[in-house]
Structure formats: structure tokens, C-alpha cells
Amino acid sequence: MVRRFLAGEKGRPRRDALQVQDVQTEVCATFMKKSAKVINISERAERESSFARDMLGPLVGMGLTINRMMDNLTGKVNATIRYPEERRAYSDRFRGAHILTAREDGSPRCVACYMCATACPADCIYIEPAEHPDPLIEKYPARFDIDMLRCVFCGFCVDACPEEAIIMSRESELCAYTREETMWDIKRLMSRPELPEFGLGYRPNETLVDSTIKFVPKEKEKKELAGRITLKEDVEMIPHVTFDPTKD
């Protein structure tokens, strides 16, 4: 039982599992692994030192290294991916670029209460409120700018929002050619053409409660770029990061 526990998940022997010899030291090692608070290294080294162990230990370790190398060479395990053609799947709580959610009619859910701007440690949110014709809504943002260069992606704005109006996506690729492009205005924050590639990130509820995302599909534009830089169009994304805003 203990041996199986120590043997690791895929049956591949662990180094310290091989080094224990009798049950007593096994139990001792298990105890040390579980509590793992203070390990007296010299005592342990004295107890475990023997000629066979000193000679076999490195060989076993080398065996593991060679195993991994063979895995890599045969393509069984891949440490690297071919970014940007391939992307890693980020966590559902990843804090990427922000999304402003919308009401049913497509107007912003935000009521310009400044809670996000107050909570923001980087002071990167600029809001300009205006009078909403509906007295029950009363206030809406005429301007809502986020300076993506200043933003530290802490997610405090999402935590502070009382209306689920600002949530985050998993989008992390925010490079731009000019500084002006890094200033995201309300239009950009609400209509997110990049969203299907990345999906929703940090947000209060897994499925949005009475707010929707105004999704505007990306227009295909072919940029003529000087020199050797070419844009790769129609690159196939790995399927598990593709995102459908209506289903997620």
C-alpha cells in the first residue's frame, strides 16, 4: 500500500521510493513527505548512505533523465508549443484584457459608479458619466477608457463592480503599434472581435447573470506590411481554446 503510494501516479518509480529499503524507513519517509516541515539532512544522509545506494542512486536518476529524453525525442511529451500557431489553454480565472458587458438592448451595463476607478491601484480607468433617459438607470458612461499600458491586471475592478459590468477575458496579446491603440475606449471594450480566440477570464459568475456580451465579429483585413514581415492568415487554432460567446 505504502509502496504503491510512493510509486507515483503512472507507475514510473520515483527516486526516493527506490531509496527506501525497509518498512520502517518507508513509514519514516512517508511521514517526512507528509509533514515535510523540518528535515534533518545530515541524519538522513547518514541513515541512507551505503555503497550500493551511492552507486545505484545516480544510475537510477540517469535512467529517469534518459526516459524523459526519449519521451521528448519520440514526441510523446512536448515541453514547448509552436506559439503563436498553438496556444496554451489558460485557466478560467485568467486575468486578461477587460470586457464591458451589455444590457439586452446592447447599451452598456455600466452605470458609471466609479467603483472600479476607485479600486484601481494603477489609476488607469477614466470614466465620464452622462444622464440616462431612463430614470431607473439614471447614469451611464459616455466615456470609459482603460489605459492598457498602465493596467496591472489585478482584477480589482471586476471585484469592485456592483453590476457585473466589467469582467475580464483570457486575452493576453495586447501589443500595439502606437500608444493611442493601447488606450481602449468604450467601443473597443464592449465589442471584442478577438474574444472567440480567447474566451472569458476572471468574472464573478461562471455564466453571466442578466448581462450579455456584445460580440462584433472581426473584420478580415489584410495588412500590407513592408519588408519580410508577413501576417499568417487562416491559422488553425487548437480546438480547446476556441470559444463561443453564446455558450460559455
Partner 1 sequence: MPKFTLNGQELEAKPGQTIIQAAEDRGIEIPHYCYHPDLPIDGNCRMCLVDVEKMPKLTPACTTIVNEGMVVRSDNERVKEAVRGVLEFLLINHPVDCPVCDQAGECRLQDYYMVYGLHTSEIPLGMKVRKRKVIDLGPMVVLDQERCVLCSRCIRFFENVTETGEMQFFGRGDHVAIGTFEDRPLDNPYSGNVVDICPVGALTSRDFRFKCRVWFLHATDSVCGGCSTGCAVRIDHRDGAIFRLLPRRNVEVNRSWLCDEGRLSFHELHNGERVQRPLMKGRDEVQAPVTWEDAVRAVDSRLREIREVNGADSILGFASPSATNEALFLFKKYVGDQLGASRFDFRLDSEDKKLAEEEDQILRHFDKHPNSMGAIKLGLISPELGGIDGAIDAARVGRIKAGVVMYIEPLVRRPGDEEAEGRLLELIDELEYSVVLATHRAEWQASASVVLPVAAWSEEDGTYTNFEGRVQLAGKAIEPGGDALPVWEVFAMLLHAGGAQSLWMSVGDVFATMTENAQAYRGIGLDQTRLPGVVVG
Residue number with CB closer to partner 1 (97 or 116): 116
Q: Give the nearer residue to partner 1 in terms of CB position, either 32 or 113.
A: 113
Which strands form 183-184's sheet, in the order they lie side by side? 125-131, 139-147, 183-184
Of 16, 157, 153, 169, nearest in space to 92 by CA: 169
Of 40 and 118, CB closest to partner 1? 118
The residue (of 135 and 239) whose beta carbon lies closer to partner 1 is 135
C-beta of 115: minimal distance to partner 1 in Å? 7
Cell match 514526441: residue?
A: 75
End-to-end CA distance of the chain: 42
Least CB distance from residue 222 to partner 1, whole Å?
43
> Given the rule CB under 8 A, which residues bind partner 1?
111-115, 118, 129-131, 135-139, 162-163
Q: Where are the alpha helices (DSSP H) in 20-101?
A: 23-35, 41-48, 51-74
Locus of grid cell 518507508: 26
CB of 135 or CB of 227, closer to partner 1: 135
CB of 80 to partner 1, least distance (A): 47
Comparison of 162 and 239: residue with beta carbon closer to partner 1: 162
Burial class of residue 190 (count of CB atoms within 10 Å of its CB; 0-12, 13-18, 19+): buried
Least distance to partner 1 from the beta carbon of 112, Å? 7
